[in-house]
C-alpha cells in the first residue's frame, strides 16, 4: 500500500467494522486483552493484504481475517480449544422438543444474560463462531461459509448442533439452578 | 416428510435458508408434529434471548485509535514492503520442513536432556513463524519502532538493533511464548534466510556460547545484560556466531 488514497480507502471501508471484529475476537478468545491483541494483529494483516481485496462486503472480508487470526492465536496459545468441534458427527437430530415443555421455552426466552453468556462461551469455538455470526452479526449461511471457509452444509449442521448444545446447556443450568 | 428427515433441517428452516420446496415440506411436517413444532419454538425462544441479552462486546475505548495508528504506520511506504515477497517464498519450504519435523527431537551436540524440550520449542517457534503468516507482529526495519513496541508486551527491554550494515537487516519483532513465559523475538534476514532471535531474562549468566542442531536448524545461545538469547535459523553456524558477536558488541 504505497498510495495515500489506498490507506484512505482502507480506513473508509474496513475501519468501520472494527466493532464486529472485536466482538468476534472477544467471543473466540473469551478474554478482553487477547481480543484486543488479535484484532490489532488482524487489522495489520488486513492492511497488508488490502491489495488483494476485490470488492465485495468489506465486513465479511475483514471478519475472515479476524477469524483466521483468532484461530492462529488459539492454536498457538490454547491448542486444546481448536480441536473441539468435529463436523463429521451427524448427531443433529436427537433433540426432539418436548411438547409439554412450555416452561422450558419460557425459561429459554427469559434466561438471564449471564447464564446465556456462560453457556455460549462453553460451546466449541466453531459452534460459538457460527452462532455469533448468525445471531449477533446477522450473516447469511453463505456469508458464514465464506468467512469460516467451510461448505454451506457445514454451516447448516454447525448451527443446528450449536443451537442444540446451547439449549441443552441452558436446560442443564436450569436444573442445577432449580 | 418424517421427523428424522425434518429434524436436521429445522434449524435452517427457522433461519429461512432452505429452498422453497424443502421449506414447504418442513413447514407441512411441523404443522402436524408437536415435537418439531416445539423444537422450532425453542429456536425462536433462543433467538429472542440472544438478541435481547446485549451479548455483543463493544470494543474498549482507545482500541480504534490504537489500531488506526498501527494501520497507518504499517501502510507507510517503507523498505519493508520491498521485502514482502520472501515471506511467501519461505512458506512452501517451511511447510516441507515442518512435515518432516514429526515432533521428535534429535540433538546432535551441546545439549543436556533437560534442554531438549526448550530446543524443540525454539525450533517449532521458528518453523511456525515461517509457516503461518506470523513472522512478525511489528514489521519494520526501524529499531526505534520495534523497541517501544515491546513495551507492555514483555516485562523487560530487549536490545533492538538493525545489523543491516553487517548483512543482517532487521525485519521486525513479535512476542512468542517459550518455556512458559513470553519471549521477545527479533527477526533478521541473512540473504534469503530468516533468523529468529528469542530473548528473555536469564536467571543466571552463562557467558559461554552454546550451539545445537535440531532437524537441520542451527541454534545458538548466548547471554548478556541479564538476558538469554537463542538464535534459530538454517544459516551456517559461522553466520549465527557473527550475529551473536554483533549483539554482544552492541550490548
Assess contact for B140 and B172: CB atoms under 8 A.
Answer: yes
Distance separating alpha carbons of residues A24 and B57, to the nearest angstrom? 8
Distance separating alpha carbons of residues A124 and A82, to the nearest angstrom? 8
What values do phi and psi take at B218, rounded to 5?
-90, 140
Which of A47-56, A131-140, B63-72, B139-148 has the weakest average pLDDT? B139-148
State the pLDDT at residue B9: 92
B104 touches chain A (CB under 8 A): no
A41, A92, A117: residue with CB nearest B137: A41
Assign A75 a pLDDT band (cuts: 50, 70, 90): confident
Assess contact for B79 and B164: CB atoms under 8 A.
Answer: no
State the pLDDT at residue B238: 84
| Domains defined for chain B, CATH in brackets | 3-52 (no CATH), 81-250 (3.30.200.100)
Assess contact for A145 and B81: CB atoms under 8 A.
Answer: no
Calculate the average pLDDT of chain A.
85
- Secondary structure of residue B174 in the 3-state scheme: strand
Distance from CA of B207 to the nearest CA of A (A): 31
Q: Enter the CATH code of domain A4-82.
A: 1.10.1740.10
Whether A136 and B4 lie within 8 Å, measured CB to CB? no
Distance separating alpha carbons of residues A45 and B67, to the nearest angstrom? 12
Among the listed residues B169, B168, B150, the one whose alpha carbon sits nearest the alpha carbon of residue B227: B150
Using CB atoms within 10 A of its CB, is residue B155 exposed (0-12), middle (13-18) or buried (19+)?
A: exposed
Whether A48 and B74 lie within 8 Å, measured CB to CB? yes
Name every chain B residue with its beta carbon within 8 A of the beta carbon of A104: 42
Whether A93 and B68 lie within 8 Å, measured CB to CB? no
Distance separating alpha carbons of residues B227 and B130, to the nearest angstrom? 25
Strands (DSSP E) found in B112-243: 138-139, 170-178, 181-190, 193-201, 210-214, 217-224, 227-233
Residue with cell 438471564: A112
Whether A97 and B64 lie within 8 Å, measured CB to CB? no
Among the listed residues A30, A60, A57, the one whose alpha carbon sits nearest the alpha carbon of residue A144: A60
- Spans of all domains in chain A: 4-82, 102-177
Full pLDDT tens readout for chain B, 251 residues: 888 889 889 999 999 999 999 999 999 999 999 999 999 999 999 999 898 778 999 999 889 999 999 898 888 765 344 334 444 445 555 554 444 443 333 333 343 455 778 888 898 889 888 876 667 888 777 888 888 889 888 888 899 989 988 899 999 999 988 877 889 999 999 888 899 999 998 877 666 778 888 888 899 998 888 899 999 998 888 888 889 888 888 76
B105 touches chain A (CB under 8 A): no
**What mean pLDDT is predicted for residues A50-68?**
91
Strands (DSSP E) found in chain B: 138-139, 170-178, 181-190, 193-201, 210-214, 217-224, 227-233
Q: Please identify, in words, the CATH class of the domain defined by A102-177.
A: mainly alpha
For testing the chain A interface, which of B7, B9, B39, B49 should be mutated: the one with the most A CBs within 10 Å?
Answer: B49
Take residue B251 and report the three cell numbers written for it: 550490548
Distance from CA of A31 to the nearest CA of B (A): 11
State the pLDDT at residue B108: 37
CB atoms within 10 A of CB A120: 24
Note the pLDDT tens digit of each residue in A80-118.
Answer: 766 655 555 444 444 555 555 667 788 888 888 888 999
Which pTM was predicted? 0.58
What values do phi and psi take at B181, rounded to 5?
-155, 155
A77: left (phi over 0), alpha (psi -120 to 50) or beta: alpha
Strand partners, B172: B139, B187
**CB burial string B199-212: b at 16+ within 10 A, e below:** bbebeeeeeebebb
Whether A134 and B128 lie within 8 Å, measured CB to CB? no
Residue with cell 425462536: B44
Assess contact for B154 and B184: CB atoms under 8 A.
Answer: yes
Name every chain A residue with its beta carbon within 8 A of the beta carbon of B60: 32, 36
Q: What sign results for the dihedral spanned by CA atoms A97, A132, A34, B181?
A: positive
What values do phi and psi take at B109, rounded to 5?
-160, 165
Amino acid at each position: 500500500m504505497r498510495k495515500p488514497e489506498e490507506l484512505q480507502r482502507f480506513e473508509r471501508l474496513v475501519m468501520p467494522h472494527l466493532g464486529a471484529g472485536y466482538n468476534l475476537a472477544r467471543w473466540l478468545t473469551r478474554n478482553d486483552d487477547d481480543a484486543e491483541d488479535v484484532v490489532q494483529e488482524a487489522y495489520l494483516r488486513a492492511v497488508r493484504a488490502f491489495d488483494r481485496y476485490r470488492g465485495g462486503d468489506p465486513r465479511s472480508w475483514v471478519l475472515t481475517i479476524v477469524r483466521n487470526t483468532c484461530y492462529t492465536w488459539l492454536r498457538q496459545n490454547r491448542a486444546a480449544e481448536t480441536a473441539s468441534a468435529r463436523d463429521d458427527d451427524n448427531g443433529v437430530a436427537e433433540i426432539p422438543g418436548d411438547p409439554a415443555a412450555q416452561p422450558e421455552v419460557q425459561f429459554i426466552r427469559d434466561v438471564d444474560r449471564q447464564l446465556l453468556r456462560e453457556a455460549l462461551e462453553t460451546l466449541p469455538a466453531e459452534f460459538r463462531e457460527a452462532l455469533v455470526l448468525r445471531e449477533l452479526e446477522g450473516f447469511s449461511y453463505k456469508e458464514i461459509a465464506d468467512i469460516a471457509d467451510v461448505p454451506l452444509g457445514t454451516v447448516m449442521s454447525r448451527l443446528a448442533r450449536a443451537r442444540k448444545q446451547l439449549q441443552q446447556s441452558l436446560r442443564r443450568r436450569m436444573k442445577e439452578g432449580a | 416428510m418424517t421427523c428424522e428427515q425434518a429434524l436436521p433441517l429445522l434449524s435452517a428452516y427457522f433461519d429461512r435458508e432452505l429452498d422453497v420446496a424443502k421449506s414447504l415440506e418442513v413447514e407441512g411436517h411441523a404443522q402436524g408434529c408437536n415435537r418439531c413444532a416445539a423444537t422450532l419454538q425453542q429456536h425462536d425462544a433462543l433467538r429472542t434471548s440472544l438478541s435481547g441479552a446485549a451479548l455483543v462486546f463493544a470494543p474498549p475505548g482507545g482500541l480504534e485509535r490504537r489500531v488506526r495508528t498501527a494501520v497507518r504506520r504499517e501502510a507507510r511506504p517503507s523498505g519493508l514492503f520491498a521485502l514482502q515477497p520472501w515471506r511467501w517464498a519461505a512458506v512452501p519450504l517451511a511447510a516441507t520442513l515442518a512435515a518432516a519435523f514429526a515432533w521428535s527431537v534429535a540433538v546432535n551436540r551441546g545439549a543436556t536432556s533437560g534442554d531438549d524440550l526448550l530446543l524443540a520449542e525454539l525450533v517449532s517457534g521458528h518453523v511456525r513463524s515461517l509457516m503461518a503468516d506470523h513472522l512478525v507482529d511489528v514489521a519494520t526495519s526501524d529499531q526505534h519502532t520495534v523497541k517501544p513496541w515491546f513495551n507492555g508486551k514483555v516485562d523487560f527491554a530487549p536490545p533492538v538493533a538493525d545489523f543491516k550494515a553487517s548483512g543482517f537487516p532487521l525485519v521486525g519483532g513479535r512476542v512468542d511464548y517459550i518455556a512458559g513465559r513470553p519471549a521477545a523475538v527479533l527477526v533478521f534476514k541473512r540473504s534469503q534466510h530468516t533468523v529468529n532471535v528469542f530473548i528473555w531474562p536469564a536467571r543466571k549468566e552463562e557467558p559461554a556460547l552454546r550451539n545445537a542442531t535440531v532437524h537441520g536448524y542451527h541454534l545458538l545461545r548466548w547471554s548478556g545484560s541479564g538476558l538469554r538469547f537463542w538464535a534459530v535459523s538454517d544459516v551456517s553456524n559461522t553466520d549465527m556466531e557473527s550475529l551473536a558477536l554483533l549483539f554482544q558488541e552492541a550490548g
